[in-house]
Amino acid sequence: MTINGSVVADQVVPIVNQQFLYNGFVSASEDFAVLATFDRGNGPIGVTLTAEAPDTDCRPAPPVYPPTEVVTNGTCETGDATVFVSVETTTYDAVWNEETLQWEPVANPPTVVGFDRPLTQEEQAACQPPANVEETEWVDGIYECGDTEVEQTRTVTTTPYIYVEGQIPEWVLDTDNAVSVEETRIRQLNADEITVCPVLEFQVLGPACVGNIPYIRWNVSGEGFDTALPLTITLSQGANVIQTIENAPAQGQVIWPGASANPPDWPGWRLNDAGVWVEDPSDAVLRDDITVTASVNPETSGTVSYPEATSECADPPPTPTTTMPGVTTTVPGTDTTTSTTPKSTLPATGGDSMSLVVLASLILLLGSGAVIVTRRRKSIS
């Protein structure tokens, strides 16, 4: 027997009150008619039957199909701190196929969502931004009158970036690993910056006696010289620098090295415990000639001599005391005695006059003549 072309029984059976399984009925929701064909050996007989819809769905339970996802990672560009990721999700419904008599998945329209994620280590290496480079302004060095060029300097600081992961990943400057270098270059001075060196005179006046104490005096002057500029006065003997006076005036004086006004003292002498001035070889060398150098960038110098032995400020005054070997002195409480304190046996150095003016300068030999010249530097900030 066939029903709607489907064989439901291929054996000879009584058909009264018989039931046949027909898969086409399992999904029916209402009564329907079918055409049944019987063949009893003498030819097929067609009969129209009315079937009732089943009370329940006889199909197997529909399966649940898992969704599928397609994840697409973006790419980072230089300086990016994150990468965009898109996720495409597709869900499926189970649909009964009347021909195959089974459930089949049917895709729904996909949904797409996106988000930013931190960089991987490989991406950090590939997308690190270039280091930050900062340059200071070029600064002129010191140049002198007559110069035509000046050296300039500036500082270049290179700071790399470091990747910091957090709630919001970002690249930040790695100041701990910043590197600074100093660059130099030569700049040509313009016409307004090039100056002619002034002609100066440097006079060392002395020695001068003030209250029986020897002093050294100086005077710096000349055309084009700014007397308000501070000088550096250096007192020396050969390579030995005795004293340096910073920010000295153009005209000034200083007490002779080794001498003192309070308490009184003179080079080559010392006051012993008995109150007697005796020779002191420890600083007697300070009675030799001293070179006085005045520096205004650059410098000039002159020599001054210690007062001659007959000068009132060359040595300490005579000291009344008791008779000492080889010396006749006045002893307090006696009647009359000729007293003479001998002059020092220290070298009698010094010039011929207390008003000696030693004219010293930086000399440029021009033919058979000499010009007193010095130069001062100019600082351009």
| Amino acid letter, residue 160 | P
User: CA-to-CA distance for 254 and 324, rounded, in angstroms?
Assistant: 36
> Which residues on adjacent β-strands are paired with residue 290?
304
Summarize the confidence of residues 246-255 as an average pLDDT.
90
> Which residues on adjacent β-strands are paired with residue 264?
261
318 pLDDT higher than 80: no
- pLDDT tens, position by position, 170-218: 999 999 999 999 999 999 999 989 887 766 677 777 778 888 899 999 8
Contacts of 357 (CB under 8 A, 6+ apart): 203, 204, 205
3-state class (DSSP) for residue 125 = helix
- B/e letters for 168-189, b = 16+ CB within 10 Å, e = fewer, are ebebeeeeeeeeeeeeeeeeee
Contacts of 372 (CB under 8 A, 6+ apart): 199, 200, 201, 202, 222, 359, 361, 362, 363
- The closest alpha carbon to 161, from 176, 146, 148, belongs to 176
User: CA-to-CA distance for 258 and 285, rounded, in angstroms?
Assistant: 9
Structure tokens belonging to residue 301: 């110098």
- pLDDT tens, position by position, 261-279: 889 999 999 999 998 999 9
219 pLDDT higher than 80: yes
| Amino acid letter, residue 158 | T
Q: Which long-range contacts (CB under 8 A, 24 or more apart) does 14-22 make?
A: 22/51
Residue 74, H or E segment: none
User: Running DSSP on this structure, what letter comes out for residue 122?
Assistant: H
Greatest distance between any 2 Cα atoms in the chain:
196
Q: In which band, very low, low, confident or very high, does the pLDDT at 300 lie, cut at 50, 70 and 90?
A: low
373 pLDDT higher than 90: no
Structure tokens belonging to residue 11: 């054996």
